[in-house]
Amino acid sequence: MKRKQLESLLEDVDRFSNPKISLEQYPTDPHLAANVLYTIQSGYGDIEGRSIVELGAGCGILSIGCVMLGAEHVTALELDCDAIEDLTENLTEFEIENVDVVQCDITSPSPSFREHSFDTAIMNPPFGTKNNEGIDMEFLDRALSLCRGAVYSFHKTTTRDYITRRMEGKGYHVAVLAEMKFSIPQMYKMHRQREVLVAVDFIRVSRDPT
């Protein structure tokens, strides 16, 4: 499947019907989703034929994209009931059968899964801007415990050095695959501007040197 094809299909994924500011819920842009998923597959082969876990799946655009790129099975973890409804509707509309949704809290002290059950972890985690500082690292740690391969994630560029030091200290390798600006639209009344631009890294954390 070509990247443009994937992007065009992902444009039909419905967004949050009832987004919650405290969970930092905003949809991942289809153009961005297509680009990163394409990179993961064409650069590293980490989607096709693999078992994937998505942490904080929201409406499911990344999970759905993985299925389109040939993932064998995807497990989508999500806490919020409304998001799960949106996600389920999207899976039905796209007639997807190989995604399992599990409702759970990524930040719970111990996970609901055996260690290293999945091949690849993919996520667009909350950044910790809403009285939930440190949540981005919790997501990263949990992702590494759940999968045996690489973790692909988004983190604020301002946290790049900290993440790199911390991960390398544990024996992992960190590669910044892309730098971008996230445009977070005025979905919430508190945003005074129409859009907020945040500098973000798309990173790959792996156990082997790339």
Check residue 183 for interaction with other proteins (CB under 8 A).
no
Of 108, 158, 186, 210, the one binding other proteins (CB under 8 A) is 108
x-marked contacts with other proteins along 11-30 as a string, rule CB under 8 A: --------------------
Check residue 49 for interaction with other proteins (CB under 8 A).
yes
Residue 3 or 141 having the CB closest to other proteins: 141
What residue type is assigned to position 121 of the chain? A
Residue 42 or 112 having the CB closest to other proteins: 112
Helix 61-68 × helix 30-44 angle, to 10°: 40
Of 105, 133, 168, 179, the one binding other proteins (CB under 8 A) is 105
Q: Strand, helix or coil at 96?
A: coil
173 Cβ neighbours under 8 A, 6+ residues apart = 167, 205, 206, 207, 208, 209, 210
Give the span between the Cα atoms of 127 and 199, in whole angstroms. Answer: 12
Contact in structure between 147 and 166 (CB atoms under 8 Å) = no
Q: Shortest Cβ distance from residue 154 to other proteins (Å)?
A: 24
164 Cβ neighbours under 8 A, 6+ residues apart = 174
Which stretch, 70-78, 129-137, 174-182, 192-200, contacts other proteins (CB under 8 A)? Answer: 70-78
Give the span between the Cα atoms of 208 and 210, in whole angstroms. Answer: 6
162 Cβ neighbours under 8 A, 6+ residues apart = none
Check residue 79 for interaction with other proteins (CB under 8 A).
yes
Of 12, 18, 102, 178, the one binding other proteins (CB under 8 A) is 102
Which stretch, 10-18, 20-28, 59-67, 96-104, contacts other proteins (CB under 8 A)? Answer: 96-104
The first and second tokens of residue 177, run together, are 């695959």
Residues that bind other proteins (CB under 8 A): 49, 51, 72-73, 75, 79, 84, 88, 97-98, 100-105, 108-114, 116-118
